[in-house]
Amino acid sequence: MSDNRMSRDQITGVGCDVTNCKYNTIDSKCSASHIDVQNDRATTKSETYCATFCPRGCCD
C-alpha cells in the first residue's frame, strides 16, 4: 500500500524555497505533479532552472 496520504497529484520529497512560485507550499515544498529542470549545460547549482516555475497570480 502506498504511503502517499498527503498527495494526489503532488510529488513528494521536493523541497523548494521559491516562495514566489505558485506551486510552493507554506512549508517550502513543491506541490506540482511533476517538475522539469532545464539547462543541460549546467555545471553549478545556480545554473539549473526549474522550468515548471510559475509566478503566483499567473492563470495556469
Judged by the rule CB under 6 A, the positions of this chain that interact with ligand SF4 are 14, 16, 18, 21, 23-24, 30, 32, 35, 50, 52-53
* Structural contact between residues 51 and 37, judged by C-beta atoms closer than 8 angstroms: yes
The least CB distance from residue 53 to ligand SF4, in Å, is 4
How many CB atoms lie under 10 A from the CB of residue 31?
Answer: 16
User: Which is nearer to ligand SF4, 1 or 46 (by Cβ)?
Assistant: 46
The least CB distance from residue 1 to ligand SF4, in Å, is 27
Cell of 16: 523548494
The least CB distance from residue 50 to ligand SF4, in Å, is 3
Identify each DSSP E strand in the chain by its residue range.
37-38, 49-50
